[in-house]
Amino acid sequence: MRACNALTLLFLVLFFCTTLHAAKFEKALGLGSYYYTGTEAKNLAPDFGPFISFSGTLLNTKFLNLVNHFDFSTLVGGTNFAGDYGSYFGFSGIYQFAFRFNLAKGNILPILEVGPLLGMYTITLSSPPSGSSRNQTAFKYGFTVGTGFDWLNEEKRGGSGGWGMAFHYFKFFTSPGFFDFSAKKLSANGIRFELRLILSSGK
């Protein structure tokens, strides 16, 4: 419990430090999908999870940026929750704080991102076994690492926008106590693909 509360406090501090004191932001809107892997008995593993996203990136140096990324996703194709509870559908809200490394200069910027994740999952079981709750909720933490590129309209960040794409590996761990699903503790991992529209930056 104390570790989870400390982790939540750390995320909040990181978020407010990078938003309230940012000299300049690069904002972006995105569309994409999570592709989950692993067995249903041990992992939250629907077929995929399409999402919409918003991100605000602190342009602190040319080489290193700090990213606040939010997305809202639906869970599609869940066939057997926790291996014993049948089909399901649901939603997730995920926050990512990431360090973005710009690996070149010019209009086309290859990038590397790494950072922690927080996720809230809400699941509804179609036909739960007797004595099991139909609604399942979990608050999870994990990490992500990914790569991609941004194609900018100008030869530097902070100009008139552009577009980008990225692939991320993500991993959510099982959560302590009642923070995980009541039916069974599950991890979640897979690949996230995103296309994003980079908007004009502003102070």
Query: What domains, with CATH codes, occur in the chain?
Result: 2-198 (2.40.160.20)
Query: Which pLDDT score is estimated for 131?
Result: 77
Quote the CA–CA distance of 50 and 33 in Å, as a whole number.
4
Q: Where are the beta strands (DSSP E) in the chain?
A: 25-37, 49-58, 64-78, 88-102, 108-125, 135-152, 162-172, 188-198
Q: What is the pTM of this model?
A: 0.84
> Could you say which DSSP state residue 175 is in?
P
Query: Which pLDDT score is estimated for 154?
Result: 82
Task: Give the C-alpha distances (Å, rounded to integers) separating 186 from 15, 91, 176.
Answer: 27, 16, 11
Query: Which pLDDT score is estimated for 129?
Result: 80
Which among 140, 160, 142, 141 is positioned nearest to 150, based on CA atoms? 160
Query: Which pLDDT score is estimated for 15?
Result: 54
State the burial class of residue 98 (Cβ atoms within 10 Å of its Cβ: 0-12, 13-18, 19+): buried
Sign of CA dihedral 80, 82, 88, 89: negative
Query: Which pLDDT score is estimated for 22?
Result: 47
Contacts of 9 (CB under 8 A, 6+ apart): none
Q: Write out the chain's pLDDT in tens, 203 residues.
A: 555 555 555 555 555 555 444 457 789 999 999 999 999 999 999 999 999 999 988 887 888 999 999 999 999 999 999 988 999 999 999 999 999 999 988 888 999 999 999 999 999 999 888 778 899 999 999 999 999 999 988 877 777 789 999 999 999 999 998 899 999 999 999 999 999 999 866 55
- Torsions phi, psi for 18 (to 5 deg): -95, -5
Amino acid (one-letter) located at 193: F
Cβ-contact 54, 70 below 8 angstroms = yes
**Cβ count within 10 A of residue 23:** 9
Query: Which pLDDT score is estimated for 202?
Result: 53
SS (H, E, C) 173-187: CCCCHHHCCCCCCCE
